[in-house]
């Protein structure tokens, strides 16, 4: 498998931050030891192995990861979580990727944390409520 690094850096950064926020995990904590993949009962059915999925997130390879079959092969058994020496909860990261894949217009939601207090005050309340719902789905 060959992986290209680069592309749209800003988009990659948003992708990484989104996955970190949704999964409550630090993506860079993974140092690619591969123990998660070695213990995964579904690894033989995956086109991208669990430790490679984490690497794809680290590199901001959003389209490649969201288009993979592996994210749907994971059965959330949590074996990977128990094997990680860095305490990375891989299953939660994969679940976040699945959630992102299922969302339509996934990057167009309102990020309330990026708005100034003035901008927030100008927004209609339903825009804020809708944004919060979308961020917690």
Give the residues lining the site for ligand SF4 (CB under 6 A): 30-36, 40, 42, 50-51, 54, 74-80, 83-84, 86, 88, 90-91, 94
Residues 6+ apart with CB under 8 A from 45: 73
Nearer to ligand SF4, 40 or 61 (CB): 40
Minimum distance, C-beta of residue 136 to ligand SF4, in the bound complex (Å): 22
Minimum distance, C-beta of residue 49 to ligand SF4, in the bound complex (Å): 8
CA dihedral 133, 89, 97, 72 (to 10 degrees): -120
* Contact between residue 71 and residue 65 where contact means Cβ atoms under 8 Å apart: yes
Nearer to ligand SF4, 50 or 60 (CB): 50
Cα–Cα distances in Å, from 69 out to 17, 40, 50? Answer: 22, 15, 12
Nearer to ligand SF4, 94 or 100 (CB): 94
Which is nearest to 1 in space by CA: 48, 61, 65, 38?
48
Nearer to ligand SF4, 73 or 112 (CB): 73
Minimum distance, C-beta of residue 4 to ligand SF4, in the bound complex (Å): 20
What span, in angstroms and rounded, lies between the C-alpha atoms of 95 and 65? 12
Minimum distance, C-beta of residue 11 to ligand SF4, in the bound complex (Å): 23
């Amino acid at each position: 498998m060959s992986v290209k690094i680069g592309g749209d850096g800003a988009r990659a950064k948003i992708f990484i931050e989104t996955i970190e926020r949704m999964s409550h995990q630090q993506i860079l904590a993974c140092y690619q030891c591969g123990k998660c993949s070695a213990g995964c009962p579904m690894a033989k059915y995956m086109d991208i192995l669990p430790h490679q999925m984490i690497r794809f997130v680290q590199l901001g390879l959003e389209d490649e990861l969201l288009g993979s079959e592996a994210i749907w092969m994971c059965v959330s058994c949590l074996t990977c979580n128990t094997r990680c020496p860095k305490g990375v909860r891989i299953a939660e990261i994969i679940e976040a990727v699945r959630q992102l894949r299922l969302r339509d217009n996934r990057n167009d939601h309102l990020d309330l944390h990026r708005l100034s207090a003035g901008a927030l005050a100008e927004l209609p309340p339903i825009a804020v409520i809708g944004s919060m719902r979308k961020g917690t789905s």
